[in-house]
Structure 1
Amino acid sequence: MKLAPNLHRIGNDIVAAYLVVADGGITVVDAGLAGHWRNLQRELTALDMTLEDIRGVVLTHGDSDHIGFAERLRLQTGLPVYIHAADAARAQGTERYKPAPGSASGLRPGPAARFLAYSMGKQGWRTKYLTDVVPVADGDVLDLPGSPRIIGLPGHSPGSVAVHVPGVKALFVGDALTTRNVLTGRTGLQPSPFTDDPAQALETLDRLTPLTDVEWILPGHGTPWNGPVSELAGGVRAGA
């Protein structure tokens, strides 16, 4: 799905991953669920491009609904998969997430069932953990199309990050926040469920406030948000 020139989404408001199309090829941001592999191929076909045009994958964190097809793509193409060093073990399946008590409160059967059904339909049960990753750190600018910059946002997970790509005026936030709680069905800016440290997750959002060249704020779950970044942290806190 084309969002803007050189900016595409695969998946939907339940689980999403993104493509940045820039000089030199494609950067994939997050890898959704295993079954999004077919969505990736369809999007590439629509762009008249192939897997060979992808230069790398950047993960916002290491949860299973974000690493989806990353290992398959890495094995098939040899491409690097970048993730913050603090989440490398999570993406490799050697460290499980430990959400804070109450971070999944308010669950409603309908939305939760839809999330589960979608995840199963997209082969969430077939997640393949990564066997090799390239660790990154806060402030790194990666040698990939669009020159994505890493902004550390620990809280949802120790290595949760935002990925800032000025060339497409996009900020990919993973699960640092959400615009659709997959467990409650509630929409709008709010904290993500299943967060390790909810207080830290809210606090670190202030690191995004100075950004001025962003028109697209793109979460892993929910619709894109097109408001000013200066209002982002306050909006999420108000939605808590």
Structure 2
Amino acid sequence: MNITEGVYSLDCAGYGHVFYLEDEQALIDTGLPNKGNRILQELSCLGIKPEDIRRILLTHHDVDHAGNVRFLEEKTGAEVFIGKEDLPYLMNQAARPGIKKYLQKFLHVVPPKYCKPLEAPGNSVAIQMYHTPGHTPGHHVFLYGGVLFAGDLFRIEGTHIKKIPSRMNWNGELLANSISLLKKIPFTLVCPSHGNPMTREKLLPLIEQLWGNQS
């Protein structure tokens, strides 16, 4: 799906979305494991070759976001970036918090060969990054061309937003603070990892209804 000019949402990656920013040659997230070939095939249908992908930006370490990171790193030669707080979980240097350490055993993620923290030099100035901890310690959202890629701060179902189940969040209080941060980010359209895009005008009142007394 074409979100805006040169910004694509890929629906082939299973549970959740993968996004591609054509001008920036950047892939945001990589979907569930074993979907790498499907991602490359869908990109090919858009005229995008593996070598056109120069960076892979991960919103966080969860298996449905990092599931094909090693495969795509090897096929494209792209550099991989993730929030520094999530880096040890992605690289299997630390056990994922809570229930996610069990999910990791069933949905095995092969870590990339190399990964840099999002704060490292080399990231595009056109893509603004915001640290939004709560769902995971190193969760980040990305702003590009007025489009906010919100990861797993929440889900969108139809005309409603839904909270991520508390058992899947690392810290609910920090998550509420991160969601409050969205009010200060100058986006016009939000794209969650789960659900369809929503305009700022529709989103912010819904956020206030769900988190207004917490954030």
Bin the TM-score by the shorter chain: 0.7 to 0.9
Q: Is the Cα contact below 8 Å between 1:209 and 1:232 reproduced in 2?
A: no
Q: Deviations over 1:99-158 (max 9, x none)?
A: 48xxxxxxxxxxxxxxx9xxxxxxx83531223211124xx78534x7211101011111
Distance 2:93 2:62 in 1: 12
Q: Is the Cα contact below 8 Å between 1:58 and 1:81 reproduced in 2?
A: yes
Q: Is the Cα contact below 8 Å between 1:210 and 1:230 reproduced in 2?
A: no
2:111 aligned with 1:129, yes or no? Answer: yes
Equivalent position SS for 1:3: strand
2:123 aligned with 1:143, yes or no? Answer: yes
Q: Is the Cα contact below 8 Å between 2:151 and 2:192 reproduced in 1?
A: yes
Equivalent position SS for 2:198: coil
Return the match for 1:172 from 149, 154, 166. Answer: 149
Return the match for 1:190 from 162, 171, 174. Answer: 162
Paired positions, count: 204
Distance 1:226 1:41 in 2: 29
Distance 2:135 2:121 in 1: 22
Structure 2: which 5+ runs fail to align? none
Return the match for 1:204 from 168, 178, 185. Answer: 178
Ranked by relative contact order (alpha carbons within 8 Å, sequence separation 6 or more), the top structure is 1
Deviates more, 1:202-211 or 1:147-156: 202-211
Q: Is the Cα contact below 8 Å between 2:50 and 2:75 reproduced in 1?
A: no
Q: Is the Cα contact below 8 Å between 1:97 and 1:196 reproduced in 2?
A: no
Distance 1:201 1:134 in 2: 24
Q: Is the Cα contact below 8 Å between 1:209 and 1:233 reproduced in 2?
A: no
TM-score, normalised with respect to structure 1: 0.74
CA RMSD of aligned residues (A): 2.8
Cα distance, 1:235 vs. partner?
Answer: 4.6
Structure 1: which 5+ runs fail to align? 101-115, 117-123, 181-185
Letter in 2 for 1:43: E
TM-score, normalised with respect to structure 2: 0.82
Deviates more, 1:219-228 or 1:124-133: 124-133
